[in-house]
Structure 1
Amino acid sequence: MKLRLILMICLISFSLSAQDKNKNETILVEANCQMCQKRIEKAAIKVKGVKYASWDIPSNQLTLIYNENKTNLKDIQSAIAEVGHDTKEYIAEEASYQNLPPCCLYRDPTTKEMDHH
C-alpha cells in the first residue's frame, strides 16, 4: 500500500512538471502573397520561443506554436509589424510598409488583383 502511494505521488509530480508550456494561437496578419507569407513566417520564427509559424494566404491567418515561458503574442505581433505587416494589435510603421514590394502593399485594394507569382 505504501509503495503504491509513493508511486502515485511520483507519477503525479512527474506529470505536473512535464506540463506542456507550448501555446497554440491563430492571429490575423494582413498580407497578399507567397512573398508576404515567407516574410511573416520568418519574422515570427525569429522570435525566441516560437516553434511553428504558418500563414495561410486565403484566410490571412497565422497559426503559431510558441513557448509561453519564452515569449508572448504581443512580442510576436511586434516582430511581424517590424517587417511591414499589420496585425490586430500592431500596425506596421509607414516606412516598413513602404519597403514592401509593390505587390505586397496590402493596404491598397488594387494589389489584391495583381499577379503574385
Structure 2
Amino acid sequence: MNKKFFAAVFSALIIVISGYVFAQSDTETITIKTSSQCEMCKKRIEKGMGLEKGVKSAVLNLDNHTLTVVYKKDKTNPEVLRKALSNIGYDADDVAANEKAYKKLPDCCKKGGHDHDGHDHSNHKH
C-alpha cells in the first residue's frame, strides 16, 4: 500500500475520533441525593427522569439514594432536573418534593415507608 492511502486513512480516522469526542462533550453528569426508598421508587424515578427533555440516562442507586443523570447541557440544566425529580414526588438535593406529587406516592415510597412496621423490606419488590 502507498503513503497516500495511509495518509487518507489516518486523516479519516482523526476526523471520526474528533467528531466522537466533540459529540460526547455536549453532555454533563450530575448526581442528585434523593428521598427514594425501594425498587418501586427506582422504577418511577428512572422512567420519569428518562422522559425529561435532554436526559440521556438516569440511574438510581438505592444503596446511597443517589440519582446519576447524564444530560445534554444545551437542552437542560441541574436546576431543571432537580425540579423534575421534585415533581415526581421525591426530594432532590435541597429541593423538597412537590407536596401534591409526594402525597400520591404509595406509602412504601414515602420517607421511612419501609420502617413503619418494623419489618425488613430491603428485598421488597413491588
Q: TM-score, length-normalised on structure 1?
A: 0.77
Distance in 1 (alpha carbons) for counterparts of 2:78 and 2:88: 16
| Paired position in structure 2 for 1:53 | 58
The one-letter amino acid of 1:105's match is: K
Distance in 1 (alpha carbons) for counterparts of 2:27 and 2:75: 10
The one-letter amino acid of 1:44's match is: M
The one-letter amino acid of 1:52's match is: S
Residues 55 and 63 in structure 1, CA contact (< 8 A), matched pair in contact too: yes
Question: CA shift at 1:56, angstroms?
Answer: 0.6
Instruction: Please tell me whether residue 63 in structure 1 is matched to residue 68 in structure 2.
Output: yes
Report the 3-state secondary structure (helix = DSSP H, G, I; strand = E; otherwise coil) of the residue aligned with 1:69.
coil
Residues 86 and 95 in structure 2, CA contact (< 8 A), matched pair in contact too: yes
Report percent identity of matched pairs.
32
The 3 A distance-change label for structure 1 pair 102 and 89 is same
Question: CA shift at 1:110, angstroms?
Answer: 2.6
Structure 1 unmatched runs, 5+: 1-10
Match of 1:27 among 29, 32, 37: 32
Match of 2:95 among 90, 94, 106: 90
Superimposed CA distance per residue, residues 21-64 of structure 1 (whole angstroms, 9 cap, x where no aligned partner): 11112111111001101111122111111001000111001111
| Paired position in structure 2 for 1:18 | 22
Question: CA shift at 1:107, angstroms?
Answer: 5.2
Residues 103 and 114 in structure 1, CA contact (< 8 A), matched pair in contact too: no
The 3 A distance-change label for structure 1 pair 71 and 84 is same
Report the 3-state secondary structure (helix = DSSP H, G, I; strand = E; otherwise coil) of the residue aligned with 2:79.
helix
Q: TM-score, length-normalised on structure 2?
A: 0.72
The one-letter amino acid of 2:99's match is: E
Report how many aligned residue pairs link the two structures.
107
Structure 2 unmatched runs, 5+: 1-13
Report the 3-state secondary structure (helix = DSSP H, G, I; strand = E; otherwise coil) of the residue aligned with 1:38.
helix
Q: CA RMSD in A?
A: 2.7
